[in-house]
Structure formats: structure tokens, C-alpha cells
Structure 1
Amino acid sequence: MIAQSTAPLHDEGLQFPVAFGHNKTDVDLQLKTLTLEDMAALFSKFREGKEGKKEGDKNGPYIIPAKFGDNYRNSDNIRTWSVATLDLDDKVFATEAMIREQLSGLVYFAHTTHRHLIKVPRVEMWRVYLPYNQPVPPSLHEKIQARLNALFPGTDDCTEKTMQFFYLPSHWPGMGHEARSFNTLGEGELLNPLTFDPAPVKGASRPDEWDGSAPGDKTPKTPGQYSDWLGKMLEGDNLHGNATAVTASMVSRGLDDATIMSVFQAWRPTLEEARDLERVQALFGGELQRLIDGARRFIAKNEPAPGKDFDDFVLSQTADAMEAEMDADKYVIARMAIFGQSTVFYGDSNMGKTLLTIHQVAQQIEAGEIDGSQVYYVNADDHGRGVVQKQHLAEKYGFKMLVPGREGFQANMLRPLLQARVKAGRGGGCVVILDTLKKFTDLMSKREGTAWGNISREFVSAGGTLAALAHTNKHKDDDGNSIYAGTADVVQDCDCAYIIELVDDDIGTRTVVFRNIKARGDVDRKRAFSYTLDVPYPEMFDSVQVIEDQVLERSRERKVFADTLAKHHDAIMHIQSLIREGVTKRRALIDRGYRNTNFSRAFITEVLDEHSGDNLLQGHRWKCSKGPKNSLLYSLLSGGSESCTTGTTEMGESRSAEEWES
């Protein structure tokens, strides 16, 4: 039994927040709560999946056993975890008896997974869900997952990822009779994250790290010791993958090629009996030597040479020499994107992020602040006419445009091109604008986000400049502000980031504000622009203007005014009709206002108070006066017809843009 230090027995009425999705591409989650009994039913019901070698064969409904801030699938939205999970695939050789032994004393739900008994040899494959006895923050959840995984050598460590979903039970076509599930409800305790500390199990570390020695020990081992480990590593059917892992570990511990070869040769007869003869012959016919050579190249690249110390890596270039290689402190986009930095602009579709970025870069080129011939706009998110429009601008202002599928360029060439610039010492002065970033990296993947961050950091460290455009999440935060789409890695790894918010979209002109969410250097915390809508692209481009703070504030007020009238429109019309019918007392208006309608009493009261006054231009539609016995009576304002909700004069005439600005 796993010691947990007086973890409480489970509560039958306990609720566990979880999230569901329809399939792996579905990021709009259904947020629900489950009881233990709900889980017992959920994890014992199997659907028939498809037959295939890729993930598509099991693609279907999934669960993320966590509480989310909103219903968008993003690691930043996870507040707490409700359940820990084990993914026991073909490298574990798990059985029901083994699961029961290792998890004795805990409440859990276990079911076979899609490829259970499909691989050769027929290997059992299980998933186990262990509910927590309390909400668990993500950082602690990852540690608990690592401890659980250590109980089963070879466990898939995907469960330790910040964002991981799990397919609901399914079975291979025609294999429903082999699908199994069981649970230990009533037999144990919920997992206590504060006291859970399983006893160490021999071989419990990752199988590609453990060989019977203490963790981190790189002492050279004897061939016999390695051959024992090799036997365990080759129990699965992935001969190449297991051989790669064992070879890399041998090389890292200092074994020479001859010793490694002898270890593998000792197992050759066994492998030929257990595996396809042709596959084994390929391993010993040259593949093994390539694995050894590849491991040595990797280690040589990522480990210091023998005898090297900190002093060997201290910078030898003087600060003056380094400054000479860097560009002067100037802006690629005035007051927002600094030369030699990585900047990301997040905005909703059709918000104008491309228009405004190109316009502001063009302004800097015209002002002589940057060299247009060193500006590369990578347009990977445009239609044919849009490409032509951008090419006109490129020819006019002297920057260069790259388009995937044109002139032999492809999106996957970007990273090698950036690295080539760095290697050749040609990063300085080079400005690369990416439209949009999702075409070059997976914004939903932490691993991809980290890899992109490393490449972009190398480029800007060499004097290059990156400006990337990306989308916002369709959901807002609690304050109604836009939030960036994807994981936090891109924002964490860049130098500067802005989110573009809509301020006003009235009278044919759109006003937006760039709101800074990360800064390194002297950049504006907010910067606003306006541009004309519904005109040809060249005119729209020429209409872009920087908006001063006072004008921006008036635009914000107009937006709030218009939004409030739009939100209250139906209730205003209803109250106006009641007043015309002679219902003028406050209590009667509120009572009649919400009865037989979809309005709440509180909402009718809010609208009645919000639009009470004597100034139509401030949104007032009726005025209040005292009646007999201190009663409150309401009467309509002249010209207050709700047919004009965007602001009218008392004569009913529309107010012009110039009047609004005054």
C-alpha cells in the first residue's frame, strides 16, 4: 500500500472539475464537474475506433481532468488539476495485477487503451485516473505526475506536460471483447498531493536513464552490465528506438565503439529469435555504427570538451567591439519595436495588424531610420490580391517580400535561413517581419514554442530584428481585455509584446490601441492608430494616423456610449412603450418592466437609472421627478426615440464626427 499519511477517505458527493473536447482539433472545451460515480461510468464505456498507425485511429472525444479559467484549451487557462493520470503503453508491460499492486490503497479508475493487445507481442496497454482529494495547482501536479510515473518504468511521460488531453476509452475495430476496465471505489483513499511519496522502486526512473546506478552516475560500466540493461530495453517492438536510447547512454558514459558493439553482439542471437531477421541484420549491417556516430556528434555539440572550465567560455570581445556590431538604439516601428529585439503583435482578425505594421515600418524607411533593402516581410497569410497590394508597397518603400509557394520559398525554410544569417555573421541590420507567426511554429505546443524562442534569441543576439504578428484568443479575460492565443512561451521568450484592442469602429473610421504586455527598453505602454474603412487598400494605407491620448479617450467614451445603448436597446424600447401607456411610477415601471419578458428585475432597474436625466447626448431617454407622497415619476425626453441609439441632438439630427471631437 502506498503511504499517504492519513489521507481522508473519499467523499461520495465530491465534485471534480473537468473539461471535454470532441476531438484533438477542438479547442473549445465543455466545462463540467464529475462525481466519482460519474467517472466510474465514463471510464468503463468504450467506443470503437479506427484501424491505423497514426493518432487518427484513436482520435475522438477527450478529457482534461482540470479546472479551467474559461473554455479555451490553453495551458495558461488551467487553474487546478482534479485528477492525476498514468499512461501505461507498450514499454511498461503493465497488467491489472501490477496496477493493483503498485497503487494499492488508492482510489483509481483503469481502462485499456485503443491499441491494447494489438502490437506484437500482444502487450496490454492501460490508462489509469487517480482523483485528488483536493484541487492541485499545475506546478505541484507535474511533480506528483513524475512520482507516479516512476512507479512504472517505461511509462509515457506525456502526463507530465502542462497541457495534455486524454482520449476517452476506445478499442481497436473488432476488439471490443478485449476491452477491460476496473476501479477501486470503496477500496482505498483519494490521492493526497501533500503527503504522496511512494517508496522508490528499482528501475523506477526513466528506462533510458537507469542502469542500476545512482541517478546521474556516468561511470563507465562493464559490457555485462549494459547487456543486462539492453535486454530490458528491447522488450518492446521498437527495436530502432530502444537501440538509439541505449547507444546514446553508452556513449555518454564513455564506452568506446568496440565495447558497445560487443554488448549488442552478445544479444544478437536473442534478437534474431524475437525480431524480424531482416530488421536485425539491418541494425548490425551499419545502422548501429551510425547510431554511435550520431550520439557522439550530439554529445560533442552539447557538452564541453574534456578539461574545459568556466574560464574557457568567458567573453573575450570587448564591450566597445560588441557595440560596434550592434545597431544604434532606434526603432523599426516608432516607439514600439526596437532594433535588435524580438517583438510580437497580437490582434484579432481584420483588426489591422498587418496594415499598421507595414505602414509604421514604411514610415521608418522613409525617415531614413532603417534600410528598406534589409527589411524582409514574410507574407504567409494572404490571398492573391493581398499579395499584389503588399508588393506595390514593397516596391514603393523599398522593402522585400517573401511568399511561401513563390520563387521556391517555403515556410519551413525560415528557421534555416535565420540560422544561416547568424552563422555567417549577417544578422546585424536584418529585419524580418512574420505574418503570421503560426505559419512558422505551433503556438499551442510548449516544446515548439521553446524551440522557436531559442532560434529567435540566437537571431536577435546576432543583431537581427524580428517582428511577428499573431492572433488573439477569441475569449476575453475577466476585465474584457483580449488575451494572446497559444501558450505563454512566445511572450516569455520575446523582448516586447503588444495586444491590439478595438477602441471605436464608428462613422467609417476604426480606432485601435496597441496595449503593451511586455517590454525591454523604452517603448510606449500604449499607442493608438486610426484608419478609414471600406475604401481601396492604398487609400486605407494612406489614411493611417497616430492618435493622441485626448482623442483616444474621446474615442473610448464614444465606444462605451454606443455599446451601452446597444446593450440596453430592447429594454429602453420596452420602458419607453410603458411610459407612453401611462405607466410612470418607478415601482410600477420596474414591476411591469421585467414581467413576461427575458429581463431581470435588476437589469430593468439598471437601465431605468442609467438612462435617467435630461441630456440625450449622454444617453438619457427619460427624466425623473418627484410626485405625490415622494413617489418618483418618469417622463420621456423630447427627441428621445430609440430609433437613434448612437447619439442625436434634441432635434433628432445625427451629430457629425467633428461635433463629437469638439
Structure 2
Amino acid sequence: MVLPPKPPPEEPDKEPPKIPAEKLNPLVKHSLRGDAAKLHARAVDTVPLLGGIMFLGQATIIYAPPNAGKTLLVNRFIQDAIDEGRLDPNMLFYINADDSGKGLAEKVEILELQNAHVLAPGLKGFRVNQFVDKLIEATQDGTARGSVVIIDTLKKFTNLMDKARSSSFANVCREYVMAGGTIIALGHTAKNRNADGTLRYQGTTDILEDFDAAYVAEAIPGSAGASEKIVRFTQEKSRADSPQEVAYAYSTEHGLTYAEKLASVRPVYPEELESSLLVAEMLDDEKVIERIRGLICGGMASSGQDKLVRAVADDGDISRSQARRVLDRYTGTDPDKHRWSVQKGDRGKRTYSVLRKPQAEPGG
């Protein structure tokens, strides 16, 4: 009888073969494993730096309409931060690319008294097209850590309407912040507002998306006294425990020097801000009321609610939501409370008529 062949003897478990170094996943060489201590060493603590809304170790964008006072307020925030020991003036680099010759001289004079740095395109060999390279250089050689770079204004250094360029610039700023630096950029709002009446930032969404924090600054019409302006900062985005809104006021008295305006800046407390917003809302209502009255008397009385609202908002400085709110608020039959009445016709169509207050009788 033929016996079956014996099975081969069992071999001990073998370790899987090692992958040659040249065949490792290409991502391995970029791994930060083992570098935690180095990363901690170059990072900075995220703490309030300027105005309670701009934080150390972050990239922040402040949007505002022209002449709202954002540059004035940021310069005052800088002074306060230096005086209170929160900011080393030798580590501050204010890039002034949006000023007149006299305005630049005034700001340099003020900041150099505090030992801070001001840079301006065209002076001391500084060029706009060099700025990104300088940020990259500081990121790579470690000198970004602890520095604060203020960009005034952002549109001078990147095309905000070009998605690729603004995204590339935002990436450079992100790397600078990751290396322990701080970026604060000042930008403008668009001429046309959002549908809800709020200010709309200028450019694509890339800066807003890639920066850590964003605030919109707006002067409140009719606020404070006749010689003072209140500016409210409203949060659009934040990655720190920063307030939803803050407000500051400064003097608009004729004849003040820039230094005197800086000295006049003061915080506005919540109860004062609330009162100022109510006054501003009433002033806004009067503007919208006059627009609606003019359209009703000008031949749009029977156009219906929607067409009337769209016509009120056509110029762009009044939102549709604001127009509809004012139209509804002042619709009624009491001339002391309302400005126009309405009659509903077929299919709910509305026809408006301007109300006129009764004239007082002679001798009454």
C-alpha cells in the first residue's frame, strides 16, 4: 500500500516583509509625527489684542465702508495695546497703502513715538509685489512668530474679485499665522447691501472663509451727539471667544488734528448702543417713508405690495426687508400713527393711498 505524502513541516510565523524606503507612501515625508514640541514652541497663545475683537495668533479681516473710521479706531487700539503691555511695538508692522502723503506722515509720527514700524509702498524700497514674498520668508525663517502685521487696505495686495488670487493670498496668511504670526487686514464693503439690509463684504468668499475672524464695521447714522460718531463692529465669523458686537465712538468736531481724534476714541457700552440703534432705525424709517410716499403719489399706488417694495429697494441703499417692514408698519387708517391706507381688491391686490393729517380748525 502506498502511503500519502507527508505535509511539509509548519514554519514559524514570519514578519511581513518591510517595504523599501523608496516605496513608502509619499505623504510620509510630510508627517508631523514627533514634532509636537517644535509646533508648541513656535505657536502663540490666542488672546485678545486689539479692540477686544482682534486676537493674537489669528488672521482677522475688518470690513467697513469708506470713511467709517476703521483706520482711526485700529490705530487707537494699537496705542492702547502698546500702553497696556499686550503688544510689543517692535513686533508691529503697519502696512499703510491707502493714505495721502500728509495722512501717512501723521500716522508715522504717532506710531514711531511708540517705537512701532510703518511700511508704505514706494518708500524705503518696499514694493506691493514683494509683500507676499516677505511673508513667506518670515514664515520659513521663524521671524513670523510674535509679529503683528496690519494690512491697510487688503485690495492693494491681492485681487479680491479673483478667486484664485485671493485664495492664494489667504493661504500665505494662514501659513504665517501657523508660524506664530498675527495678520489683521482692513477691507471695504460693497456699495450694495445684502437682502436683509446688512453690509456686504467686497470680493469673493475666500478671505472670509480662510481667515479666523471677520467683523463688519458700520457707522450708526444719527448716533451719539452732533459732533461724535459711533461705529459698531458686528461679528461675521470667529474662532475665539470674541464678542458678537462692540462699538466705539470718536469726535467728529471740525478742526481736530488726527492725534486729537485718536485721543477722543471711547468705548460705547451696550445700553448706549441700544439707544443709538433705536434712533438710527427711526431716521432710517423717515428715509424709507419718503421714498414710499413719492412712489404712491407718482403712480404706483395700485402696483401691489411686491412691486412697490421692489421699487423702493431699486436704488440699493434700502433693502427689500426694510422696505416691507416700513410699508407694513405705517399702513393703517389712523393719521396720527400711519402714513398710508390700503384697500384690497380682486385676488388680494393692494391699492395704497397717502393719509393726510386733518388740519386744525381756526381758533381751535
2:52 to 312, 317, 335: 335
1:392 and 2:93 matched: no
Post-superposition Cα deviations, 1:591-629, rounded to whole Å, max 9, x if no partner, equal: xx956x45737869937768725xxxxxx99xxxxxxxx
Post-superposition Cα deviations, 1:254-308, rounded to whole Å, max 9, x if no partner, equal: xxxxxxxxxxxxxxxxxxxxxxxxxxxxxxxxxxxxxxxxxxxxxxxxxxx9434
Equivalent in the alignment of 1:323: 40
Structure 2: gaps spanning 5 or more residues: 1-20, 306-326, 340-354
Equivalent in the alignment of 1:544: 265
CA distance 1:443–1:633, change in 2 (3 Å):
closer
1:411 and 2:112 matched: no
Equivalent in the alignment of 1:13: none
Report the Cα distance in structure 2 between the residues aligned to 1:418 and 1:633, rounded to whole angstroms: 64
AA at the equivalent of 1:343 = T
Report the Cα distance in structure 2 between the residues aligned to 1:532 and 1:505, rounded to whole angstroms: 13
Equivalent in the alignment of 1:511: 230
- 1:551 Cα offset (Å): 0.7
CA distance 1:409–1:570, change in 2 (3 Å):
closer
Q: How does 1:479-498 map to 2 (within 5 A)?
A: 479-498=196-215
Equivalent in the alignment of 1:460: 177
Report the Cα distance in structure 2 between the residues aligned to 1:391 and 1:489, rounded to whole angstroms: 31
**Contact 2:158-2:169 within 8 A present in 1 as well:** yes
Post-superposition Cα deviations, 1:487-534, rounded to whole Å, max 9, x if no partner, equal: 111111111111112323451221121111111111111111111114
Post-superposition Cα deviations, 1:300-329, rounded to whole Å, max 9, x if no partner, equal: xxxxx9434344433244545533332233
The normalised TM-score by structure 2 is: 0.74
1:401 to 111, 118, 122: 118
Max Rg structure:
1
1:422 and 2:171 matched: no
1:448 to 161, 165, 190: 165
Report the Cα distance in structure 1 between the residues aligned to 2:172 and 2:46, rounded to whole angstroms: 22
The number of equivalent residue pairs is 299
**Contact 2:335-2:356 within 8 A present in 1 as well:** no
- 1:635 Cα offset (Å): 4.1
1:307 to 1, 23, 29: 23
- What SS does the aligned partner of 2:66 have? coil
CA distance 1:561–1:326, change in 2 (3 Å):
same
AA at the equivalent of 1:383 = S
Post-superposition Cα deviations, 1:216-241, rounded to whole Å, max 9, x if no partner, equal: xxxxxxxxxxxxxxxxxxxxxxxxxx
**Contact 1:339-1:465 within 8 A present in 2 as well:** yes
- What SS does the aligned partner of 2:209 have? helix
Equivalent in the alignment of 2:309: none
Equivalent in the alignment of 1:351: 68
Q: Tell me the percent identity.
A: 30
**Contact 2:61-2:186 within 8 A present in 1 as well:** yes
Report the Cα distance in structure 1 between the residues aligned to 2:131 and 2:201, rounded to whole angstroms: 23
- 1:394 Cα offset (Å): 0.7
Equivalent in the alignment of 1:606: 330
- 1:378 Cα offset (Å): 0.3
1:559 and 2:280 matched: yes
- What SS does the aligned partner of 1:393 have? helix
- 1:396 Cα offset (Å): 2.8
- What SS does the aligned partner of 1:335 have? coil
Equivalent in the alignment of 2:321: none
Report the Cα distance in structure 1 between the residues aligned to 2:199 and 2:281, rounded to whole angstroms: 16
- What SS does the aligned partner of 1:398 have? coil
The normalised TM-score by structure 1 is: 0.42
**Contact 2:46-2:58 within 8 A present in 1 as well:** no
Q: What's the C-alpha RMSD, in Å, of the aligned pairs? A: 3.1
Q: How does 1:521-536 map to 2 (within 5 A)?
A: 521-533=240-252, 534=254, 535-536=256-257
CA distance 1:307–1:571, change in 2 (3 Å):
closer
Q: How does 1:142-181 map to 2 (within 5 A)?
A: none
AA at the equivalent of 1:528 = A
- What SS does the aligned partner of 2:151 have? strand
- What SS does the aligned partner of 1:456 have? helix
Structure 1: gaps spanning 5 or more residues: 1-304, 575-592, 614-619, 622-631, 638-662
CA distance 1:478–1:307, change in 2 (3 Å):
same
- What SS does the aligned partner of 2:39 have? helix
- 1:636 Cα offset (Å): 6.1
Report the Cα distance in structure 1 between the residues aligned to 2:356 and 2:244, rounded to whole angstroms: 47
CA distance 1:318–1:610, change in 2 (3 Å):
farther
- What SS does the aligned partner of 2:204 have? coil
Report the Cα distance in structure 1 between the residues aligned to 2:219 and 2:163, rounded to whole angstroms: 29
- What SS does the aligned partner of 1:529 have? strand
Report the Cα distance in structure 2 between the residues aligned to 1:611 and 1:399, rounded to whole angstroms: 61
AA at the equivalent of 2:96 = N
**Contact 2:90-2:115 within 8 A present in 1 as well:** yes
Equivalent in the alignment of 1:46: none
Report the Cα distance in structure 1 between the residues aligned to 2:31 and 2:51, rounded to whole angstroms: 35
CA distance 1:433–1:611, change in 2 (3 Å):
farther
- Per mean C-alpha deviation after superposition, the further-off stretch among 344-353 and 530-539 is 530-539
Q: How does 1:219-298 map to 2 (within 5 A)?
A: none
**Contact 1:375-1:399 within 8 A present in 2 as well:** yes
Post-superposition Cα deviations, 1:306-354, rounded to whole Å, max 9, x if no partner, equal: 4343444332445455333322332221321111111001111101111
**Contact 1:330-1:369 within 8 A present in 2 as well:** no
AA at the equivalent of 1:600 = A
Equivalent in the alignment of 2:319: none
Report the Cα distance in structure 1 between the residues aligned to 2:334 and 2:106, rounded to whole angstroms: 47
Equivalent in the alignment of 2:96: 379
**Contact 2:222-2:279 within 8 A present in 1 as well:** no
- What SS does the aligned partner of 2:200 have? strand
Equivalent in the alignment of 2:86: 369
**Contact 1:428-1:462 within 8 A present in 2 as well:** yes
Post-superposition Cα deviations, 1:560-611, rounded to whole Å, max 9, x if no partner, equal: 1122234435888x9xxxxxxxxxxxxxxxxxx956x457378699377687
- What SS does the aligned partner of 2:232 have? strand
- Per mean C-alpha deviation after superposition, the further-off stretch among 529-538 and 315-324 is 315-324
CA distance 1:386–1:317, change in 2 (3 Å):
farther
